[in-house]
């Protein structure tokens, strides 16, 4: 049987639990259940009841929408440290997207009833959860802004910078290396473009000296990426 990680630092590495107190973190660990999903497993589908949230420990989960015509829109690729499924358990609405294990994946599942009971008994944890949700809403707004207002080169540059910030925080170094687990097709789905166009934009970033690819590693020049991500008007 898998032993539940009870470390406060471990649980606070998930943004939704970051503001929880020590005793509340202990409660989170006590109500969590360890789960594994093989690559390709459908974790939940759009319209399902939101009965639990998942704290992702290893692997990768794809969130997507499928049209009646069979076209898939990739919304996001979630990496270890992410949380998913929390919206449906908090607002009582059905799942808003499909979740699929892109690779073999492990995580902790927390049931809706247990989590809502925990929040009801811990007002400070409820406030921390509200703060987390507001942060997610701002990130979604920024993603929509990127797709709607920026050309594709800028969108790809912003994608690299956003991924780097998720690793290094807001204060980025002058240069940083990035190992992307996503294919160009997956990046295309996130940014609302075709794979050939994403490939051309990545080549354009290389020609501008903003990135350099070598053995699966993307070497990023932060200043040049920022210049492309925020082009001056005109």
pLDDT of residue 127: 95
Domain annotation covers residue 19: yes
Q: Write the pLDDT tens digit of every residue in 206-222.
A: 999 999 998 888 999 99
Co-location of 91 and 200 in the same domain = no
Domain annotation covers residue 234: no
Torsional sign, CA 177, 179, 184, 189: negative
Domain annotation covers residue 29: yes
Q: Note if the pTM is more than 0.85.
A: no
pLDDT of residue 85: 93
Co-location of 22 and 119 in the same domain = yes
pLDDT of residue 104: 96
Co-location of 26 and 108 in the same domain = yes
Co-location of 115 and 212 in the same domain = no
Domain span holding position 108: 8-144
CATH number assigned to the domain comprising residue 155: 1.10.10.10
Q: Write the pLDDT tens digit of every residue in 40-65.
A: 999 999 999 999 999 999 999 999 88
Domain annotation covers residue 114: yes
Last residue of a domain, one of 124, 144, 164: 144
Last residue of a domain, one of 99, 126, 144: 144
């Amino acid at each position: 049987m898998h032993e539940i990680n009870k470390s406060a630092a471990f649980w606070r590495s998930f943004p939704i639990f970051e503001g929880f107190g020590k005793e509340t973190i202990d409660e989170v660990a006590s109500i969590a259940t360890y789960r594994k999903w093989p690559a390709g497993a459908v974790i939940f589908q759009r319209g399902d009841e939101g009965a639990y949230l998942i704290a992702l420990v290893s692997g990768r989960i794809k969130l997507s929408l499928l049209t009646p015509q069979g076209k898939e829109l990739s919304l996001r690729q979630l990496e270890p440290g992410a949380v998913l499924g929390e919206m449906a358990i908090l607002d009582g609405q059905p799942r808003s997207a499909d979740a699929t294990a892109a690779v073999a994946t492990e995580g902790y599942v927390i049931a809706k009833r247990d989590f809502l009971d925990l929040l009801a008994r811990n007002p400070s944890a409820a406030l921390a959860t509200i703060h987390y949700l507001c942060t997610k809403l701002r990130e979604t707004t920024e993603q929509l802004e990127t797709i709607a207002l920026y050309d594709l080169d800028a969108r790809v540059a912003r994608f690299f910078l956003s991924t780097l910030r998720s690793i290094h925080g807001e204060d980025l170094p002058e240069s940083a290396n990035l190992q992307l687990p996503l294919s160009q097709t997956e990046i295309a789905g996130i940014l609302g473009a075709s794979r050939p166009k994403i490939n051309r934009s990545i080549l354009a970033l290389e020609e501008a000296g903003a990135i350099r690819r070598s053995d699966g590693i993307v070497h990023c020049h932060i200043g040049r990426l920022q210049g492309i991500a925020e082009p001056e008007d005109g």
